[in-house]
């Protein structure tokens, strides 16, 4: 269904294609429970991780995912590359492609950089997060985790709270969840919510406390300080008070609420440290599922 294509954005996929990737990820998750967590599916294929921005979860899990499928995985280091001598992004990517690789996984700080490379390269390009645009595999692993815990996603109500304007995760989650029949409410200070966000099909609230009682899932976001040119809120303390999650706010909510966060978490800002031990916190499940989802994406694009 997706063989040979790029994965730049969940906005580009149909609901059927998203469900296919989630089903494939379910099969991949079974592989990860075996004593020998490796299958020969991508033997002879080469995947290059081209990360121009820092990452812990995405880069490591793409590497593990490729290796679990027996692909050769190469991690490109921007800091020690010829980018430091002035080589362009396009030349860098085309030279990597000339080494006869099968897929490149790209993270870049500029929104649109991955779509640009996808047009320039013949091999499948997978978006590992571009600026404030999209982070499609994070969106897929978030939806996979919700589906795993809730049985299905259709009809669920999901809150996404925090720095919506600068969050590529928010955008991928919104596109993916809406395509699978969820309702989405975004929550944040007006300075961190795009004025036309309702055009995406979501509703808007300015109080985390207000939405907690009416949603099945809350996805908390990190404040993207690196993408803000000037401060968008008076202080971290004030932000945390109105838009953070703590045990006090959680004390009356449904036992079925899922608490999610893409990571890295600023403990004490968007989540109080005690929430790390809350029974409804599935943040590390998201990380575990990230490997299965990325195996599914690599298989779908370059397998066979
Ligand atoms: N969620 C996420 O993208 O984390 P990393 O920045 O560590 O990859």
Cβ(158)–Cβ(276) below 8 Å = no
pLDDT at residue 41 in the model: 98
- 164-211: per-residue pLDDT in tens? 999 999 999 999 999 999 999 999 999 999 999 999 999 999 899 999
Site residues for ligand 1, CB cut-off 6 Å: 55-58, 129, 135, 138, 262-264
The Cα angle at residue 89 between residues 297 and 70, in degrees rounded to 5: 30
- Number of domains present in the structure of the chain: 2
- Residue 57: active-site member: yes
Q: Which residue has the tokens 């929430």?
A: 275
Q: Which of 45, 115, 135, 147 is catalytic?
A: 135
CATH of the domain at 153: 3.40.50.1370
Same domain for 159 and 31: no
Ligand 1 atom nearest the C-alpha of 129 is 3
Coil, helix or strand at residue 283? helix
pLDDT at residue 116 in the model: 98
- Which residues touch 162 (CB under 8 Å, ≥6 apart)? 170, 187, 188, 192, 220, 221, 222, 223, 243, 270
* Cα(252) to centroid(ligand 1), Å: 31
The answer, yes or no, to whether residue 296 has pLDDT greater than 80, is yes
pLDDT at residue 193 in the model: 95
* Cα(166) to centroid(ligand 1), Å: 14
As a whole number, mean pLDDT of residues 58-62 equals 98
Answer yes or no: is 276 within a domain: yes
Rounded to two decimals, the pTM is: 0.96
* Cα(56) to centroid(ligand 1), Å: 6
pLDDT confidence bin for 57, thresholds 50/70/90 = very high
pLDDT at residue 134 in the model: 98
pLDDT at residue 252 in the model: 86
The answer, yes or no, to whether residue 97 has pLDDT greater than 80, is yes
pLDDT confidence bin for 304, thresholds 50/70/90 = confident
As a whole number, mean pLDDT of residues 29-39 equals 97
Query: Parallel, antiparallel, or unpaired for β 125-130 and 157-161?
Result: unpaired
Q: Which of 24, 41, 58, 92 is catalytic?
A: 58
Question: Which of 52, 58, 106 maximizes ligand 1 atoms within 8 Å of its Cβ, making it the mutation to test the pocket?
Answer: 58
As a whole number, mean pLDDT of residues 237-265 equals 92
Same domain for 105 and 214: no
Answer yes or no: is 3 within a domain: no
Answer yes or no: is 140 within a domain: yes
CA distance 125 to 210: 40
- Residue 58: active-site member: yes
* Cα(39) to centroid(ligand 1), Å: 26
pLDDT at residue 229 in the model: 72
Answer yes or no: is 264 within a domain: yes
- 115-158: per-residue pLDDT in tens? 999 999 999 999 999 999 999 999 999 999 999 999 999 999 99
- 99-109: per-residue pLDDT in tens? 999 999 999 99
Same domain for 161 and 99: no
The answer, yes or no, to whether residue 234 has pLDDT greater than 80, is no
Same domain for 281 and 141: yes
The answer, yes or no, to whether residue 286 has pLDDT greater than 90, is yes
pLDDT at residue 204 in the model: 97
Cα dihedral 127/128/130/134 (nearest 10): 70
Answer yes or no: is 5 within a domain: no
pLDDT at residue 223 in the model: 87
Same domain for 146 and 120: no
Same domain for 272 and 189: yes
- Residue 278: active-site member: no
Answer yes or no: is 4 within a domain: no
* Cα(110) to centroid(ligand 1), Å: 16
Strands (DSSP E) contained in the chain are: 46-51, 72-77, 103-108, 125-130, 157-161, 183-187, 203-205, 217-220, 258-260
Same domain for 117 and 69: yes
Q: Atom 5 (ligand 1): residue with closest C-alpha?
A: 55
As a whole number, mean pLDDT of residues 62-67 equals 98
Same domain for 188 and 175: yes
Same domain for 128 and 17: yes
Same domain for 143 and 52: no
The answer, yes or no, to whether residue 231 has pLDDT greater than 80, is no
Residue ranges making up the domain that contains 86: 10-134+290-302
pLDDT confidence bin for 227, thresholds 50/70/90 = confident
Answer yes or no: is 2 within a domain: no
Same domain for 226 and 96: no
- Residue 135: active-site member: yes
Same domain for 294 and 267: no
The answer, yes or no, to whether residue 217 has pLDDT greater than 80, is yes
pLDDT at residue 113 in the model: 98
pLDDT at residue 62 in the model: 98
As a whole number, mean pLDDT of residues 4-11 equals 98
Averaged confidence pLDDT in the chain: 95
């Amino acid at each position: 269904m997706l063989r040979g294509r790029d994965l730049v954005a969940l906005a580009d996929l149909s609901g059927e294609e998203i469900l296919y990737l989630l089903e494939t990820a379910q099969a991949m998750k079974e592989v990860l429970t075996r004593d020998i967590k490796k299958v020969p599916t991508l033997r002879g294929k080469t995947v290059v991780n081209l990360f121009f921005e820092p990452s812990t979860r995405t880069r490591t899990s793409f590497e593990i995912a490729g290796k679990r499928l027996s692909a050769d995985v190469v991690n490109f280091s921007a800091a020690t590359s010829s980018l430091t001598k002035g080589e362009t992004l396009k030349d860098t990517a085309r030279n990597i492609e000339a080494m006869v690789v099968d897929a490149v996984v790209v993270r870049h700080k500029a929104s649109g950089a991955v779509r640009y490379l996808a047009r320039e390269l013949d091999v499948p390009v997978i978006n590992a997060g571009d600026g404030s645009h999209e982070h499609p595999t994070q969106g897929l692993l978030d939806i996979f985790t919700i589906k795993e815990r809730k049985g299905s996603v259709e009809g669920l109500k999901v809150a996404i709270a925090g720095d919506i304007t600068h969050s590529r995760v928010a955008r991928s989650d919104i596109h993916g969840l809406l395509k699978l029949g969820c309702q989405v409410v975004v929550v944040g200070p007006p300075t961190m919510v795009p004025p036309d966000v309702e055009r995406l099909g979501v509703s808007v609230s300015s109080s985390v406390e207000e939405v907690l009682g009416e949603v099945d899932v809350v996805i908390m976001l990190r404040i993207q300080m690196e993408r803000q040119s000037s401060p968008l809120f008076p202080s971290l303390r004030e932000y945390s008070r109105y838009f953070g999650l703590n045990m006090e706010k959680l004390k009356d909510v449904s036992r079925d609420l899922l608490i999610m966060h893409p990571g890295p978490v600023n403990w004490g800002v968007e989540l109080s440290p005690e929430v790390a031990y809350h029974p409804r916190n599935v943040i590390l499940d998201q990380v575990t599922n990230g490997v299965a989802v990325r195996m599914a994406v690599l298989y779908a694009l370059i397998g066979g």
